[in-house]
Each structure stands twice: as C-alpha cells, then as structure tokens.
Chains A and B, each alone.
Chain A
Amino acid sequence: MSNPALDNKRITVVYTVTALLVFLVLALLGWVMRLTQSGMVQLPSDAFYSVMTLHGLGMAGVMYTGAYAALWYLLSGYVQPSLKLMKINFVLILLGVVGLIGATLIGGFGAGWYVLYPLPFIEQWPRWSSLLAIVSLVLLGVAWLLGQLDLLRVLAQRYGLGGMLAWPTLFGKKSEAVPPLVLVAAINLLAGALTTVVGAVMLVLYLFQWMEPTVSLDALLMKNMVFLFGHTLVNITLYFGIAAIYELFPKYSGRPWVTNRVVALSWNVTFVLVMLVFFHHLYMDFANNIALHYIGQVGSYLSAIPATVVTVFGVLAQINRSGIRWSFVPLTFTLGVMGWIIGGFAAIVDTTIAINLTFHNTQWVPAHFHTYFLLGFAVMLFGIFYHLLEPEAEKLAKTSLAAILVGGYGFVTMFYLGGVNSVPRRFSGYEAVQTGTIAQTGHDLAVYAVGFAAILLVGVLLYYAAVFRRIGAAWNRA
C-alpha cells in the first residue's frame, strides 16, 4: 500500500544521510588542508589544490542539496512535488559527486571552486579530468534546475504565481497569506532557477572550449557568469535554511510565525538583491563596468536590512519571554542565526570596496564564509536534520554542539587573524613567501586551526552518533 507521507520522508532520509556522510569526508579534507598549511602533513601542492577544489565544490554542493532536501520535505506538507524527480535527481547528483571525486582526486583537476576561466583549460592535469569535472557540474546543475522548477511548478499551481510571492499580502488585497516557508522558498527557488540557467550556459561554453581549444572566451564575462551562478547558489542555500527555520521554530516555541506585509516586502526586495550582490566578487576587476561595482556594494549593504530587521527580529520574537524549552533544535536555530549574522557582518565589511582593496583574496574571505556556512548554516541544518530524524539523544547532541561551536569559532578566528595580517588565501604552503612575517603568521595560524578543527570534527562525530542512533525508527515513521 502506498503512503505518500512515508515515501516523502524516506527519500528525504536518504538525502539527509548521504549529505551527512559526504559532509564528513569534505570536512576531513578541509582539515587536511590546514594540516598541509601548517607543515604537519606534506601534501604536494597539486594534491592540495585538487583537495581544495573538491572541498569547495563539494561543500557548496552538499550544503545546497541538503538544504534543498529539507525544503522539499517541509514543502511536501503543503504541496506534492514529484517524488520520481526527487529520486532521479538523487542519482544525477550522486553521479555528479562521484564524477567530481574522480576528476579531482584521481584526475588531479584543481581549478578551485569557481573554476575561473581559463584555468580549467591550461594543461596542468589530464584533459579528461577537466572534461569530467565540467560534465559532473552539468549533471549537478541539471538536477538542481529541475528540482527548482518542479517545486516552483507545484507552488504556482497551488498558490498562483503572485500568490506564492505573497503579492496579495504585499499589495493589500484581503487574501490569506501564504506561510512564510512558501514565500521564502518561492523567492529563492525563482532566483535560483534564473541564475542556474546562466550557469548552464556558462558550462556549455566551457564544454565548447574543451572541444575546441582554439576558441577563446571573454575572461571577464565568464567571471561575471560564474559568480552570478555560484554566488546566488550559495546565497539561496542560506535562505533555504532560513525558510526551514520560519517553518520549524514555531513547533518549538509554540508561537506562530506569519507572513505579514513587512515579511512579504522584505523577501520580495531580497529577490532582487540576491541576484545583484555577486558583483562584489569582481571589485578587483577594475575593468568591469564601474556602476556594477557600486551596485555590488550598495546591494550588499542593503541586504543587511531584510536579513536582520525581519529574520533576526522574527527569531527574537519566537524566543523573547517565551518560556521555551531549550532542546537541541531551537538551540541550533538560534545559535545558527547568530553565526549567520556574525559572518554576515564580516562579509559586509569585505563588501566595502575601499576595504576589499586590502582584504580581497586574503584569509578574511574564508573567514567570513566559513562563519556563516559552518557556524551559521551547517549548525541550522544539523538542527533541521535532527528534527527530521528525531533521535531523542538530547544530551549527546548538545555536547556535540558545544564542541562544534568551540572548535568552529576557534577555527574561523584563525582565518580572521590571517586576513588582518594580510595572509593570502589558497596557499598550499607559506615557505616560499619572504614578505615580512607572512610565512610565520600563516604557518602558526594553521597550527592553531588544526587543533580547533580537531575539536570541531569531534563535535561533528558526536552529532553523528546522536542522529544515527535511531535511524531505523526514522525510516519507518512518516
């Protein structure tokens, strides 16, 4: 007998467990990078860069996919997206991940996560590995795009195009507001779909370049395209997490979280901002149109308003004098939002063009994005997965959270200090640098980071011990 709720749950569990396993491997690779930079492990630089590329692409991909699965599951409480597509996508994504592992760890492909043109096509690794990497990204892109379109399809069917974007609420017509989950999902799925199409075009151009080495593409145009796609993807990943929190927090606080006009307005504004702010990746390309640089900074600054005024105050309204019981899940939501804001502030600092001049491509960059991803988003996602799997292992889970926070904040602090001390990012080692104390500082910070990352990894393992405890029960419970 078919039970749609159980089927939905099971496919989500499959995604969740896979995402957690992939995350662990990628986190270990991150640790290996810090070990290499500290000199404790001697990894040849070509291997370092393959690892870096896999870690970056893999983390961006697994975070997106995990967030998507959570969103898909929560939305399936309102609409029924295609279960079949979800299964097909799982296979596509798995193939993409296996392909990326093969391209990097076996083939030696190492162009970095934003595969800046024309680096993937310069012979430093076998040609087949570049092809495999591009094809794998195409597989991932296709799966993501189909997934976005499918959710948009069912949301538009149920709520209407304007309805899912909360336009009736926004423009004052008397109509029942959509749940914030639906609004935030629709906004970001739409932005995701639009920019994933651009990513697809870019990847097709890459394929063309691979087949026809004599053609030459415009490097600046390619860079604009890759960041329109890549930046927006990681940005909507975070917002998917926020969407899930809008939905789940009330279950723990007992307080409703509704779409009023302020919420509707701020997410509709975010729709525009989220596709414009990527220009801040191109500040150091003075040749890019100057207006675009300004759009990058103004847009990035503005995005702080909806994020804090609406989402942060929304969270505070959930907990303020609520008598809430601080179990693991609401803790991860609250502390995850905190990490998101701290990292977000560090990012805003970096989106100031005048400051970016001395922060761009220093360790300040991995500092801020690891803050909002690792201590923001991943913490929230751990909470969402815990909610889903219901392992009832509060004590263990809370212990794991403490280790993740202590290790995690220590780990990112070493990056921040690297940024403040002008230590470049993406260096496999610092021995060759003879500028001031950069080599010494870079090395020492890596040593401390290795220790903090170890604490963090212990925390992650404890969390796994907690959530995997009753996985069988989760499998059988709709």
Chain B
Amino acid sequence: MNPTSAGILTLLVGLLVALTTLWFIARSRQQEPAAQANQGLYKARTLYFVILSLCLLAGLTATLGKVPYGQADAANSQVVVNVNASMYNWEMVKVGAENAGELVIPAQKDVEFRVTGLDVNHGFGVYDADGHLLTQTQAMPGYTNRLVYNFAQPGVYHVLCLEYCGMMHPKMNTTFRVE
C-alpha cells in the first residue's frame, strides 16, 4: 500500500470512528436501564469481534509476505553498492567499480545496498526526484543492513538521512543516477 492510500484509509477510518462516537453521544439522550439498552450492543460486539479478527487476519496475510527482509539472499543481486553513512556524508561505492567517480546504477536490475553507519545511526532513505520515499533501511554502526531495490525508471534519485544523527541531520543528503 502506498502512502497516499494509507493516508486515505486512515482518514476514512478516522471519520467512521468520529461519526460512531457522535452517533452514540446523540443516542444517549434516550434513557433506558443499562441491561435493556445494551442488549443490542453486546450482540454488535460479538459481530465486531469476528469482523475485526477477520480484517486483522486479512491484513496480516496480505502484508507479511511483503517484508523487505531476506531479499538480498534471494535476489542474488549482480549489482552491489556499499553505503557508508557518517556525520554528515553518504559514501556510496559500487562493488567492482571503486574509482569510477559518480555512482551510476543500472535500471531494472536488483540492486543490493549494504548499509552501515561509521559513527552514529543514520537512516538510508531513497527518494525519487519527485520526492516520493521509495525504500529505506537503518545505517547502524556495527551492523550491515542489506536492502534490495529494483529501479524501474532511469533518472536521478536522492538519498535523505532518515535517522536523527546530530545538528546537520537535515543537510545530510546526496544523489545518484540510474541508467
């Protein structure tokens, strides 16, 4: 689910919750003893429990297959980029092309980023040129996180730091090209 759909879903559910609340507040003008008033409510609760459980189950089955873990092993990527994050700099080097100057990544290939932090935690956030966050992983000292991404379109891509790392954190960004 992309961020916009997630936002719309949240808005709709939020409105539903608000309307339900208001409806119950409005209904509270009527007065009945609790046992009598709530008979229907307890039936609704059972129904709600079943529906909620099904929704949660559906949500889990639909999304748990789409986790970003283990993809590096499965993909056996031909292109590997080492990403070293330090305050406040991104060092990105394609394995096998150490001195080739600007980083260029092939389009439509599984690219594996091996991401680590050299000093503190940073966040490796990959954006397209329009400002959509495409994928990310943490750059943590002492650990290497392996992130796989397949760039469909050639163009310029941006990296923003997504983990607060100190005073200059908002300035810690760079770009690379996909061809």
Residue numbers of A with Cβ under 8 A of B are: 45-46, 49, 110, 112, 116, 118-119, 122, 124, 216, 218-220, 223, 255-256, 284-287, 290, 293-294, 297-298, 301-302, 304-305, 308-309, 313, 316-317, 319-324, 326, 334-335, 338, 341-342, 345-346, 349, 352-355, 357-362, 364, 416-417, 419-422, 424, 426-430, 432-438, 441
- How big is the B interface, by class? 35 or more
Q: Report which of A286, A322, A421 forms a contact with B131, defined as CB distance below 8 A.
A: A421
Asked whether B49 lies within 8 Å of A305 as measured between CB atoms, the reply is yes
Mask, B1-33, CB within 8 Å of A = 1, is 111101101100110011001001101111110
A353 to B68, CA, bound (A): 8
With A286-B147, A335-B21 in contact, is A220–B1 under 8 Å at CB?
no
Q: Report which of B29, B34, B120 forms a contact with A116, defined as CB distance below 8 A.
A: B120
Q: Report which of A304, A429, A430 forms a contact with B52, defined as CB distance below 8 A.
A: A304
B residues 38-74 touching A (CB-CB < 8 Å) = 38, 41-42, 45, 48-49, 52-53, 56, 59-60, 63-64, 66-70
A256 to B35, CA, bound (A): 11
B125: interface (CB < 8 Å): yes
With A304-B52, A316-B24 in contact, is A118–B120 under 8 Å at CB?
yes
Chain A nearest CB, measured from B41 CB (Å):
5
With A294-B64, A313-B48 in contact, is A219–B140 under 8 Å at CB?
yes
Chain A nearest CB, measured from B40 CB (Å):
9
Supply 8 A–B pairs (Cβ within 8 Å), ascending by A: A216-B142, A297-B60, A301-B59, A304-B52, A322-B37, A355-B3, A358-B132, A435-B173
Chain B nearest CB, measured from A210 CB (Å):
15
Asked whether B144 lies within 8 Å of A352 as measured between CB atoms, the reply is no
B135: interface (CB < 8 Å): yes
Chain A nearest CB, measured from B105 CB (Å):
17
B178: interface (CB < 8 Å): no
Q: A219-B141, A220-B143, A305-B52 are in contact. List 19 more A-B contacts (CB 8 A).
A: A255-B34, A284-B137, A287-B143, A287-B145, A293-B67, A297-B60, A301-B60, A309-B48, A321-B32, A321-B37, A334-B25, A335-B21, A357-B136, A359-B3, A422-B131, A433-B173, A435-B173, A436-B127, A438-B127
Pick the 10 closest A-B CB pairs, nearest first.
A436-B131, A323-B31, A321-B37, A422-B133, A420-B7, A354-B66, A286-B145, A427-B170, A435-B158, A361-B162
What number of A-B contacts does a CB cutoff of 8 Å give? 243
With A320-B38, A353-B68, A428-B170 in contact, is A342–B1 under 8 Å at CB?
no
Asked whether A345 lies within 8 Å of B170 as measured between CB atoms, the reply is no
Asked whether A321 lies within 8 Å of B27 as measured between CB atoms, the reply is yes
Query: Which one of B4, B45, B53 has the greatest number of beta carbons of chain A within 10 Å?
Result: B45
Residue numbers of B with Cβ under 8 A of A are: 1-4, 6-7, 9-10, 13-14, 17-18, 21, 24-25, 27-32, 34, 37-38, 41-42, 45, 48-49, 52-53, 56, 59-60, 63-64, 66-70, 87, 117, 119-121, 123, 125, 127-138, 140-147, 158, 160-171, 173
Chain B positions within 8 Å of A285 at CB level: 138, 140, 143, 145
Chain B positions within 8 Å of A294 at CB level: 64, 67
With both beta carbons as reference points, the residue of chain A lying nearest to B163 in the complex is identified as A361
Chain A positions within 8 Å of B2 at CB level: 358
